[in-house]
Structure 1
Amino acid sequence: MTHLKHRHPTARAGAAGLCAALALLAGCATRPRGASEPAGPPASEADRRAAAPAALMAEQQWLQQWFSGTPVAISNDRGDQLRVDVPAKFAFDPGQVGIKPPLAAVLDRVAESLRRRELLVVAVAPPAEAEAALGRRRLEAVTRYLTSRGVEASRISASTADGAALRLRLQINTTGGGT
């Protein structure tokens, strides 16, 4: 085995320089012993609510990236609501309650948004159906799906069916308190 002391002097200098650079980088990546996290006051409820519209816009962009080129329509209503429409034929089979895979993919992303943004809530409107009972059962299926993905049931509400798509409306919780 060749030792560094037997190599050319410039090789030793280069190796020493590399070791010093690595030590400096390692020092930058860690805090000194006994140092704590930078302390800052936790965001107040008012600060979080003030930041919520920007968070909603960020979620819109994030969801649009996921569903670009698909029939899922994502739009911002009045600046304080994000609407996600999934055409009924991609959400449920006719007369059935089971969630189809395309809707499941949308619900997975919406659940992730709700987990990341604690001030957001979702209102679910099933596709308009001749039979109101089917719409209620579909709403229950969507609610069960979202709660199985970690969304608190208190953050999910029902909305009136008003079209040929399942509509999810993400909005800022204005009832106070957050979750």
Structure 2
Amino acid sequence: MKLRALCSATTLAALLAGCASTGNQPPIQQAPVAPPPQATTPTISLASEQRRLADLFRDTPVVIAMTPEGHMRVEVPLKFSFKKGQSVVEPPLAKVLDYVVPSAKAPGMKARVSAPSDNGKAGLIAQDRAASARDYLIAKGVPVTHFAGVGPAHSDSVEILIGKL
């Protein structure tokens, strides 16, 4: 057993010594390493996204439409978005936001989020709700630079507007 260990140690030492010698051997050339591919978000058509989302939410109270300016508008009624007096995103709104993420992440797109208060008037709760929906989208990977603003809604629905705002 000692002889085998001694032979192994001697062989290892000889191999290491051979690797360390510089002699007249040319240096080993390493192949150039290609940079990793850049993760890019594919370009999307808002009109095709609108059709896809409208099909997904057909027969629900969620409205997904194109504006005359070419923006995609997503509306989720307040009762499915937030509990009275609160600004925590409820599961139905979260589900809609999950489907909106690819559109909001697309290069060149901006999003504007609006939310209503409980009494239909602009107020701090409306601002908090819009910020909460925006923060949800950011947590799902939408860059903060893709947001054009948050604020109170002029209806009783949470509204997400996506496009070249």
Question: Shorter-chain-normalised TM-score: which range?
Answer: 0.5 to 0.7
Partner of 1:148: 139
**1:34-73 matches, cutoff 5 A:** 55-73=45-63
Report the TM-score when normalising by structure 1.
0.62
Residue pair 2:72, 2:162 contacting (<8 A) in 1 also: yes
Answer whether contact 2:71 2:164 (CA < 8 A) is retained.
yes
Quote the Cα distance in structure 1 between the aligned partners of 2:102 and 2:145.
16
How high is the TM-score relative to the length of structure 2? 0.67
Alignment correspondent of 1:122: 111
Matched, 1:77 2:67: yes
Matched, 1:167 2:159: yes
Residue 133, structure 1, aligned to residue 161, structure 2: no
Residue in structure 2 matched with residue 94 of structure 1 by the alignment: 84
* Partner AA of 2:141 in structure 1: G
Q: Which amino acid aligns with 2:52?
A: W
Paired-residue identity, %: 29
CA RMSD after TM alignment = 2.0
Rg larger in structure = 2
Q: Which runs of 5+ in 1 are unaligned?
A: 1-47, 174-179
Superposed CA deviations along residues 100-149 of structure 1, whole A, max 9, x for unmatched, are 1110001111112223x212211111124446111111122111101000
Q: CA deviation at 1:171?
A: 1.2
Q: How many residue pairs end up in the alignment?
A: 121
